[in-house]
């Protein structure tokens, strides 16, 4: 399978040499050959998106945008299995999780379809200001224009849709640049939207390397908004390059989960195994730091280890597989080196820690220190650390001791303590009696500190993809 960028609905495959292979992380089989776009194609895509915004999308009525989105959701539902299989092949995600991703994606498009009809402004009480008598004022949300959407490999479908679907709901056009490691599901998605009736220039796809096309895309004067999900390092570059453009950055984290002495371990332990090891920990809100009250530490650790060792490791295409490879060998080697580094400095590997090619076995670490990489940085790998604490203050302080602040989990039956702790945690979101890794696609989602800027979750993304415009009327002039 050879794929290329799609600009104004056309995919121009030629014989150029700049191609990139996408390999299955599990067995290294070739999934696709990608023809890489150059800067001329990038500029053509942006120009086309700009024209399509001004001539078509800007004036397309909300009911039509809603219908296109609804149709896209229906098409995706029909093709659930095709999309799930390709996510598993290109990302190495176990098939049960790929299917879950496609189902969430369908829901995201449906939320956007519904919200397209709800985008509204407010009436301003003009006579609240001295001299404002006989004036009428209201606001309206208007689309920003061309949105550049840059997406990561770990949820190649759903995280693309968290940008595409609200952008369409708001009446924008989009230039999508997916991750080089997982471009095939994005390619299929763009075709699906065209089939659903979206004007072809409403969604252009540029397949190219981030380090080459990122700068010209983000700096381009016809781009009005950049929405990025990915690593902190790239987020920093984008923030600098974007200038006056609106920017949403959904970046990384080292999510903490706090388990107090009265936590329901029967519920928490299996959830945390999933939260730490789903998709080999390559989830931005993966449970990375578990702070456990000393009185339940041993019991927790025993059970957590036992259930972790029960995970079925294997071929991501097998229905029974819980745990598969990391995205590539380099990522697995990098994570293994962080484990080794922590061990040299006194940490212990309680289970796991074995790396072979793209596979790194589910790893639980203890005796860690706050300055070790496995704690201080985003591991983005199947590595979780369990750390005992004695007091609430100590647990909160340790959880907040991070450059990141995306989501956290708090486990306790004491509702007062739960809210007190949740209030003190410096996070974009806090779950009580739920893992940090849980996310629904309709709540505001995004980070504080260096976890990002702005919020996703369809309604909140629409806010960030529209401008508030004020209209005022002097009623005196009509008398």
Q: How far is the CB of 431 from ligand NAP (least distance, A)?
A: 15
Render 238-257 in DSSP notation, one character per residue: HHHHTTTSEEEEE-----EE
From the number of C-beta atoms within 10 Å of its C-beta (0-12, 13-18, 19+), residue 463 rates as middle
How close are the terminal C-alpha atoms of the chain, in Å? Answer: 69
Q: What letters, b where the CB count within 10 A reaches 16 and e where it falls short, cover 317-326?
A: beeebbbbbb
Which of 250, 330, 354, 467 is labelled catalytic?
Answer: 250
Indicate the residue among 162 and 305 with the shorter CB distance to ligand NAP: 162
Which of 90, 101, 284, 456 is labelled catalytic?
Answer: 284
CA–CA dist 364, 348 (Å, integer)? 9
- Structural tokens at position 119: 């985008």
Indicate the residue among 334 and 420 with the shorter CB distance to ligand NAP: 334
- Structural tokens at position 207: 């397949």
Q: How far is the CB of 238 from ligand NAP (least distance, A)?
A: 5
CA-derived radius of gyration, the chain? 24
DSSP three-state, residue 204: strand
CA–CA dist 239, 225 (Å, integer)? 11
Q: How far is the CB of 156 from ligand NAP (least distance, A)?
A: 9
Which residues touch 393 (CB under 8 Å, ≥6 apart)?
none
Active site residue 74: no
Under 8 Å between Cβ of 474 and 311: no
Q: How far is the CB of 390 from ligand NAP (least distance, A)?
A: 31
Q: How far is the CB of 259 from ligand NAP (least distance, A)?
A: 23
Q: How far is the CB of 114 from ligand NAP (least distance, A)?
A: 22
CA–CA dist 92, 295 (Å, integer)? 39
Q: Which residue has the tokens 């039956």?
A: 413
Indicate the residue among 107 and 229 with the shorter CB distance to ligand NAP: 229
Active site residue 434: no
Indicate the residue among 41 and 303 with the shorter CB distance to ligand NAP: 41
Indicate the residue among 184 and 406 with the shorter CB distance to ligand NAP: 406
Adjacent-strand bridge partners of 365: 349, 385
Q: How far is the CB of 403 from ligand NAP (least distance, A)?
A: 12
- Size of the chain in residues: 479
Render 17-28 in DSSP notation, one character per residue: S-EEEEE-TTT-
Indicate the residue among 126 and 465 with the shorter CB distance to ligand NAP: 465
H helices present in 206-293, as ranges: 210-219, 232-241, 265-277
User: If you count DSSP H runs as helices and E runs as strands, how many of each does the chain have, helices first?
Assistant: 15, 25
Which residues touch 368 (CB under 8 Å, ≥6 apart)?
342, 347, 374, 375, 385, 387
CA–CA dist 420, 221 (Å, integer)? 46
Q: How far is the CB of 419 from ligand NAP (least distance, A)?
A: 25
CA–CA dist 281, 334 (Å, integer)? 14
**CA 156, 157, 158, 163 torsion: positive or negative?**
positive
- Contact positions toward ligand NAP, by CB under 6 A? 150-154, 159, 177-181, 209-211, 214, 218, 229-231, 234, 237-238, 250-252, 284, 378, 380, 406, 452
Indicate the residue among 23 and 138 with the shorter CB distance to ligand NAP: 23
Adjacent-strand bridge partners of 388: 292
Which residues touch 36 (CB under 8 Å, ≥6 apart)?
18, 19, 20, 207, 208, 209
Q: How far is the CB of 252 from ligand NAP (least distance, A)?
A: 3
Indicate the residue among 216 and 270 with the shorter CB distance to ligand NAP: 216
Indicate the residue among 211 and 390 with the shorter CB distance to ligand NAP: 211
Q: Which one-letter DSSP state was computed for residue 36?
A: P
CA–CA dist 360, 366 (Å, integer)? 17
* Catalytic sites, residue numbers: 250, 284
């Amino acid at each position: 399978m050879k794929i290329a960028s799609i600009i104004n609905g056309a995919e121009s495959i030629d014989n150029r040499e700049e191609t990139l292979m996408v390999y299955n992380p599990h067995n290294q089989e070739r999934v696709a050959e990608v023809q890489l776009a150059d800067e001329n194609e990038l500029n053509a895509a942006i120009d086309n998106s700009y024209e399509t915004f001004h001539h078509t999308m800007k004036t397309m009525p909300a009911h039509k945008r809603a219908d296109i989105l609804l149709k896209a959701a229906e098409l995706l539902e029909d093709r659930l299995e095709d999309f799930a299989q390709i996510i598993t092949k290109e990302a190495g995600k176990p098939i049960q999780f790929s299917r879950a991703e496609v189902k969430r994606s369908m829901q995201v498009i449906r939320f956007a379809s519904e919200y397209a009809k709800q985008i509204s402004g407010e009436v301003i009480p003009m006579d609240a200001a001295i001299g404002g008598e006989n004036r009428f004022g209201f606001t309206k949300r208007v689309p920003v224009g061309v949105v550049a959407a840059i997406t990561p490999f770990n949820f190649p479908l759903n995280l693309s849709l968290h940008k595409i679907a609200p952008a369409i709901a708001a009446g924008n056009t989009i230039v999508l640049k997916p991750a080089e490691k997982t471009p095939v599901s994005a390619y299929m998605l763009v075709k699906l939207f065209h089939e659903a009736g979206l004007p072809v220039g409403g969604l252009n796809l540029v397949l190219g390397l981030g380090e080459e096309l990122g700068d010209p895309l983000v700096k381009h004067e016809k781009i009005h908004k950049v929405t990025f999900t990915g690593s902190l390092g790239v987020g920093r570059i984008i923030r600098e390059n974007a200038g006056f453009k609106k920017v949403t950055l959904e970046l990384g984290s080292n999510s903490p989960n706090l388990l107090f002495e009265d936590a329901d371990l029967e519920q928490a332990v299996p959830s945390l195994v999933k939260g730490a090891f789903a998709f080999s920990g390559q989830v931005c809100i993966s449970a990375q730091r578990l702070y456990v009250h000393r009185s339940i530490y041993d019991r927790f650790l025993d059970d957590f280890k036992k259930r972790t060792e029960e995970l079925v490791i294997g071929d991501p295409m097998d229905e029974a597989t819980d745990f598969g490879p990391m995205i590539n060998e380099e990522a697995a080697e990098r994570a293994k080196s962080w484990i080794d580094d922590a061990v040299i400095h006194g940490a212990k590997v309680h289970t796991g820690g074995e790396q072979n090619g793209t596979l790194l076995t589910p790893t639980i670490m203890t005796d860690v220190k706050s300055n070790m990489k496995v704690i201080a940085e985003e591991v983005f790998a199947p590595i979780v650390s369990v750390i005992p604490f004695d007091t609430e203050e100590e647990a909160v302080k340790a959880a907040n001791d991070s450059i990141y602040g995306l989501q956290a989990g708090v486990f306790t039956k004491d509702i007062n303590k739960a809210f007190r702790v949740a209030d003190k945690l410096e996070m974009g979101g806090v779950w009580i009696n739920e893992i940090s890794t849980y996310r629904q696609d309709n709540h505001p989602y995004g980070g504080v500190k260096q976890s990002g800027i702005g919020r996703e979750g369809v309604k909140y993304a629409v806010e960030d993809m529209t401008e508030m415009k004020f209209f005022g009327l002097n009623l005196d002039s009509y008398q």
